[in-house]
Structures are given as C-alpha cells and as structure tokens.
A and B are shown apart, each in its own frame.
Chain A
Amino acid sequence: GESVGLHLPTLSVQEGDNSIINCAYSNSASDYFIWYKQESGKGPQFIIDIRSNMDKRQGQRVTVLLNKTVKHLSLQIAATQPGDSAVYFCAERGGFQKLVFGTGTRLLVSP
C-alpha cells in the first residue's frame, strides 16, 4: 500500500543554520508531492510542491529535492529562523485528489 514516512521526528538547529527535513515514500507511481508547515494549534500551511518530472524546485528560502530512484523527498530551509519552528509534513498524491501524509517532523530553532 501507499505510505509516506519521515526519518527524523525532531530536528533541532541554531538560528541561521540550514535545515534539512527528510521524507521517504513507498508508492513509486506517485507523481506529486507537497510540503506543509503546521504551527501549534493551526492548520497546515502549504510551503512548496514538486511533480515527479522534476528533481528540484526552489521557493523563497526553501528548496524541495526529489530522488525517485530511492523514493526520497527532502525540504531544505536556508538561514533557518525562529519563526520556522513548526511541524513539517510531506504528502504525496494518493489517488483521486487525495493526499497521503507522513507523520511529521518537528523543527526546533534556537536563537
């Protein structure tokens, strides 16, 4: 079946460092992936997405990398700020407009 998981449940970094959050997926047929950020008590917020015909996509301070060979997805955050502290979820499209979410990684940024 389909599943999306994360390697690290918690990542602690210093302000200004670069952060890398990883995600593994199992459905090799998945063609679309999303990263969401969820702050405590709030709904997930879209960060960046990538389609399977790409291996890299950049946004503002964020980069998503897709390695289809090993079914691995990563989110890189440059110059991490305290406001980046949150739980980050990866998700893959799992059928008709449905998303399958990973369990999440908590990012803690220390000043």
Chain B
Amino acid sequence: SQTIHQWPATLVQPVGSPLSLECTVEGTSNPNLYWYRQAAGRGLQLLFYSVGIGQISSEVPQNLSASRPQDRQFILSSKKLLLSDSGFYLCAWNSGPSTDTQYFGPGTRLTVL
C-alpha cells in the first residue's frame, strides 16, 4: 500500500532563516506530487506540483521554491522566511492521469516568528 510522509511535523523558525520541508511517498512510482499551504481556518492553496523528476510547476509567485531530486521525494524550500510563510504545509500525491484523487500527508505546521 502507498504511504506518504512529511517531516518535520512542526517547525518554528525566525524571520529570515532558510526552510526545507521534505515529503516522500512509498509504494508507488512516478507519482504526481503537490505542495499546498493552508492558513488557519482556511482552505488549501496549491503552491507547486510536479509530474516527474526535476519538473516543477509553480502556481503562485511567492517566497518559496520546490524541487524533486528523486521520483518519490518532493522538497519545499525558502532562502529567507517571511512572517507570511507561516501555515500548515501539506504534501499530496496521485498516480497520474488515470487517477484523479489526491492523497495527503500528515502536514507540517510552520510558525515564523
């Protein structure tokens, strides 16, 4: 069965510090991968998606970047965090055009102080 992992689970970082959040998927190959951000009490905003290694599409201009160094690894990064980067970051996957449903990881709670 497929599983998706995210770490860390929680993170408190000062403004201006770098960020690296990691997402890995097990039990599938060549998944589509997604990064979402969720502000408190709000819906999910798609940040990036990837259909393959090294292929990243950005949905909104922002202070963040994403990379996919391996087939089942998706990384969200920032060089200098802003207060507005605080939120709940969710990684999701699906198995490509034949499957529409996206399955989410447990999320990372990021607080920028």
Query: Which residues of B are found within 8 Å of A102, using beta-carbon distances?
Result: 43
Sort chain A's interface into a size bin: 10 to 19
Residues from chain B with a CB closer than 8 A to the CB of A46 are 101-103
User: Smallest Cβ distance from B106 to chain A, in angstroms?
Assistant: 5
User: Are B46's CB and A99's CB within 8 A?
Assistant: yes
Contact digits for A81-110, partner B, Cβ 8 Å, 1 yes 0 no: 000000001000100011101111000000
Give the A-B pair count, Cβ closer than 8 A: 48
Which residue of B43, B46, B102, B109 has the most chain A CB atoms within 10 A of its CB atom? B43
Most chain A CB within a 10 A radius of its CB, from B44, B51, B94, B105 = B44
From A11-19, A36-44, A64-72, the one touching the partner chain is A36-44
CB neighbours of B59 from chain A (8 A): 98
Q: Which residues of chain B from 3 to 43 have any CB-CB distance to chain A below 8 Å in the complex?
A: 32, 34, 41-43
Point out residues on B near A: beta carbons under 8 Å: 32, 34, 41-44, 46, 49, 51, 59, 90, 92, 94, 96-97, 100-107, 109
Closest 7 CB pairs of A and B: A43-B104, A101-B44, A101-B43, A103-B43, A43-B107, A44-B104, A32-B100
